Every structure is written in C-alpha cells, then in structure tokens.
C-alpha cells in the first residue's frame, strides 16, 4: 500500500491520506495527468474552476481510498493540528502495512518527520518522504479533501471513497 498525504484548511484543519495499491500507481499517475486542465502544471482544486466537477467525478472512479483526519479545535495552532493528524495517520498507515508514504512538502518537513517518528520510532515500518506538489499522486488528497469540504454534490460524488476520522 502506498499513501499520499496533503492538508486542507476550510475552517477545520484536515489532513487527507489517500491509499493506493502499488500495482496501480503508474496507471493512476497517468490518469491524474490526463485530468490536469490544459495550461496548468498540476491539479489544485482551489483554482480548478469549471473543471472541478469533471475532476471529482473521474477521481471518484479511481481505486483510491482516503481517510480525512479532521481537527475541529480552534484552540490548537496549525502546527499542533498538523502533528495530531500526522501522528494519527502514521499509526493507521502502520496498521494498514503501508510500504511508502509521500507527503506534500510545505516548508515544515523537519517538523513532520519528528511527528511521524514519534509514532513509528527510528526504524519506520514504511518509507516516508516529502515531495513537491507537481507529483500527480499528491493531487489525489487535494481532490478528496476539497470535494469533502465543498459538500453538496461534490461530496456525494466521492464520499464512497472517504472515511472521516475526527480528532
């Protein structure tokens, strides 16, 4: 199992971990590139415009499941919320026997690594790394989290792929 992680902030702090089978990674990467709107270097749902509905519809067909780790406490700083969600995701990914975890880099990589090591220890049972948003598989958690947060018809299109964990 491979996992791809990105955050979303829409009132609540949400960390989305999308899991895919390793055998499907290459095909999924190709399908995501095909969905990228012309003239854009990546899918970022905040700027998807008219393409948003088609993107969500097509991503909902992919064999990619996600867990949304949601923090509703306004008392936590963003870093505290990120640590809490990363720790929960790391624990769950160990339970799922993930072999590779890719996190979208956001200038907090060192702190992220510290939060993950807190759960997995110095000999992590999976490889984890940070990558740039140009990685097409990091677009998956962006789409899942955006559609969920948007609600309405967008949420209904993809909710069969999403499990929500409130922390």
Q: Which candidate, 28, 44, 37, 25, places its Cα nearest to that of 133?
A: 44
User: In which domain, by residue range, is 68 found?
Assistant: 2-166
With residue 5 as reference, give the H or E element that holds it: strand 2-10
Per-residue pLDDT for 50 more than 90? Answer: no
Q: What is the mean pLDDT of residues 32-41?
A: 90
Q: How many Å apart are CA 86 and CA 120, to the nearest integer?
A: 11
The pLDDT assigned to 49 comes to 81
Number of domains in the chain: 1
Confidence band for 38, pLDDT divided at 50, 70 and 90: confident
Phi, psi of 35 (to 5 degrees): -80, -15
The pLDDT assigned to 103 comes to 97
Confidence band for 58, pLDDT divided at 50, 70 and 90: very high
The domain spanning residue 58 has which CATH number? 3.30.420.10
Per-residue pLDDT for 37 more than 90? Answer: no
Q: What is the mean pLDDT of residues 72-92?
A: 94
Q: Which candidate, 153, 97, 156, 111, places its Cα nearest to that of 7?
A: 111
Q: What is the mean pLDDT of residues 107-124?
A: 94
In the chain, % helix, strand, coil (3-state, to 5) comes to 50, 25, 25
The pLDDT assigned to 87 comes to 97
Instruction: Report the length, in residues, of the chain.
Output: 167
Residue 36 CA from chain centroid, whole number = 17
The pLDDT assigned to 91 comes to 96
Per-residue pLDDT for 44 more than 90? Answer: no
Look over the chain and give the mean of its residue pLDDT values, rounded to a whole number.
94
Q: How many Å apart are CA 140 and CA 60, to the nearest integer?
A: 10
Asked if 28 contacts 143 with a C-beta cutoff of 8 angstroms, the reply is no
State the DSSP code for 93. Answer: H
Confidence band for 51, pLDDT divided at 50, 70 and 90: confident
Q: What is the mean pLDDT of residues 19-45?
A: 92
Q: How many Å apart are CA 135 and CA 12, to the nearest integer?
A: 25
H helices within the chain, ranges in order? Answer: 25-35, 52-61, 78-95, 109-120, 139-150, 152-158
Residue 154 CA from chain centroid, whole number = 17
Confidence band for 27, pLDDT divided at 50, 70 and 90: very high
pTM recorded for the entire structure = 0.94
Q: Which candidate, 131, 68, 126, places its Cα nearest to that of 104?
A: 131
Phi, psi of 135 (to 5 degrees): -70, 115
């Amino acid at each position: 199992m491979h996992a791809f992680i990105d955050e979303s902030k829409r009132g609540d702090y949400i960390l989305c971990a999308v899991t895919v089978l390793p055998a499907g990674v290459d095909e999924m990467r190709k399908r995501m590139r095909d969905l990228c709107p012309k003239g854009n270097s990546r899918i970022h749902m905040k700027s998807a415009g008219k393409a948003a509905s088609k993107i969500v519809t097509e991503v909902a067909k992919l064999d990619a499941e996600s867990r949304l780790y949601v923090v509703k406490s306004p008392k936590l700083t963003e870093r505290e919320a990120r640590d809490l969600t990363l720790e929960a995701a790391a624990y769950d990914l160990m339970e799922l026997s993930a072999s590779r975890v890719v996190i979208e880099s956001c200038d907090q990589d060192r702190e992220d690594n510290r939060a993950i090591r807190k759960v997995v220890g110095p000999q992590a049972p999976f490889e984890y790394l940070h990558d740039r948003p140009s990685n097409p598989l990091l677009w998956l958690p962006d789409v899942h989290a955006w559609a969920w947060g948007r609600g309405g018809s967008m949420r209904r299109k993809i909710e069969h792929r999403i499990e929500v964990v409130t922390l």
